[in-house]
Structure 1
Amino acid sequence: MKCPGRDMQYWKDDAIYEVPCPRCTSEVEFYKDDTTRSCGACGHRFVNPRLDFGCAAYCKYAAQCVGTLPEEAAHLTADLFKDKVAVAMKKELKGDFARIGRAARLAAHAEKIGAEEQADLGIVMCAAYLDVIAHPNLSNLYPDATAERNDPHNLDRVRAILEELGAPAPLAAAVCDLLTEASPDKSKKSMEFLVLRDARRITMIEQHLKNQKEPFLANGVEHLHTGSARRLIKEILNQHA
């Protein structure tokens, strides 16, 4: 059976459209399933800005349908894969709604901070969803809890989940590296690490606000590394004022 999303007989009027070339601004026609097109005026080849293969995150025929994405769109692989990881996390935790909620909050904060800091959201989001499995103890959100984060046994299930989902090797390695990185020297850290760490801390601050444990708040805010995280925590604190 042909996928309705790829079968032109099911397409609507907006399935074919024109977008301006990012180099010369000439109009370039795209079909909704085109990954890239070349500008007829200047020859510049660029990714379809309206490309949407969200269904590839769960459809078992995605590989045959979508095929190989161009190098320019390689980041979409990790971005789409995060949806698979989110589903796998919920299945893994089953009825543990407290931990599922923690993972969802952590991922939401990581996405907001990561987008503003221009981090690799695919890697950050996958790591955020799996953090609750790699580090089940809430104490890992404290900056001095390095022992647990460095324990390779905590990543066994994470690696298994990524393998079961068919994660590309570079993505799986990047996610596991992100979940185990714990050096106190932030100058050597990637933006992805700083984003995830800030998202963890904000998640913990929210929990302390809920439990009305004020002494943690000042220390928690002080340890945020990114400007985006500091702006976000101000919004959260204002909501609880």
Structure 2
Amino acid sequence: MKCPGQDSRYWKPGAIFEECCPHCGTMLEFFKDDVSRLCRKCGNRIVNPHMDFGCAAYCRHAAKCLGSLPPEAVSGSYELIKQRIAIAVKKALGKDFKSIGRSARAAAHAERLAREEKGDPAVITAASHLIYIDAETAGEILDHVGAPEGITDEILTIVKRRKHPAENESTNFKAVSDAGVLSQIEAAVNSDKTESGEIDRLSSRLVTITGKKIAEEMTTKLNK
């Protein structure tokens, strides 16, 4: 017997839909019961952003119902939430492609910053996606994607206060701050309109060892 939610006989309009790959922007077609899809362009496996894996955490029949579950579903849907945030941010920013690019770059740097600075990857990556969104919209996005309450408050605090840090900020705060600065440095490195001294000015705002290391790696490539 199939779970009614996974039985196509009970599907409603919208059971087949398209979503953008959060990594490269390619449109992917999903069926409601697809656990994930492989992006044909960038090769990343994208979790179905409309599927609720909550039952998979406790149901002993989850593997039979959903098939081969991706690790992120089993481990609490962290990857799913992260991808939902990325998609929601793109929608919220609309045609502001500059901010969309910066958000994506910040989130990419956040992964390494979280790992090497020993921070919370869920908080750091999510907050880095949201730094170019106003706090109210960020809160709505976190609520919509089902982010756990335990991290939502910290994420929103970072988003609200990122430009006005206190003296002794947390590792997570510093990592998000550096992710935002690194996204600007990367844009400056790849632009032919960067003013003299701009990269040095941005680099001076970095506060973590990892952030400074990443900036040095980027500028070293520029000077080769």
TM-score interval, smaller chain: 0.5 to 0.7
Runs (4 or more) in structure 1 with deviation over 3 Å come to 74-80, 182-186
Alpha-carbon distance between aligned partners in 2 of 1:101 and 1:219, rounded to the nearest angstrom = 21
Alpha-carbon distance between aligned partners in 1 of 2:120 and 2:91, rounded to the nearest angstrom = 25
Provide closer, same or farther for how the CA distance between residues 59 and 160 of structure 1 changes in structure 2, counting only shifts above 3 A. closer
Q: Which 5+ residue runs of structure 2 have no aligned equivalent?
A: 4-45, 60-73
From 170, 175, 178, the equivalent of 2:150 is: 170
Paired residue for 1:41?
Answer: none
From 173, 195, 214, the equivalent of 1:232 is: 214
Deviation, 1:156, is 1.2
Give identity over the alignment, percent: 25
TM-score normalized by the length of structure 2: 0.64
Deviation, 1:159, is 1.1
SS in 1 for 2:131: helix
Deviation, 1:59, is 4.7
Alpha-carbon distance between aligned partners in 2 of 1:178 and 1:80, rounded to the nearest angstrom = 21
Alignment of 1:32-111 (within 5 A): 55=47, 58-67=49-58, 76=76, 78=78, 80-111=80-111
Deviation, 1:110, is 1.5
Alpha-carbon distance between aligned partners in 2 of 1:88 and 1:208, rounded to the nearest angstrom = 26
Paired residue for 1:221?
Answer: 203
- 1:165-213 alpha-carbon deviations (Å, 9 max, x no partner): 2222222111101112355444x11001111111111222233332221
Alpha-carbon distance between aligned partners in 2 of 1:67 and 1:168, rounded to the nearest angstrom = 17
Alignment of 1:143-222 (within 5 A): 155-182=135-162, 183-186=164-167, 188-209=168-189, 210=191, 211-222=193-204
Q: Which 5+ residue runs of structure 1 have no aligned equivalent?
A: 3-53, 69-73, 135-154
Pick the structure with more helix per residue. 1
Provide closer, same or farther for how the CA distance between residues 63 and 83 of structure 1 changes in structure 2, counting only shifts above 3 A. same
Deviation, 1:116, is 0.8
Paired residue for 1:36?
Answer: none
Larger Rg: 1
Deviation, 1:125, is 0.8
Alpha-carbon distance between aligned partners in 2 of 1:229 and 1:175, rounded to the nearest angstrom = 19
Paired residue for 1:144?
Answer: none
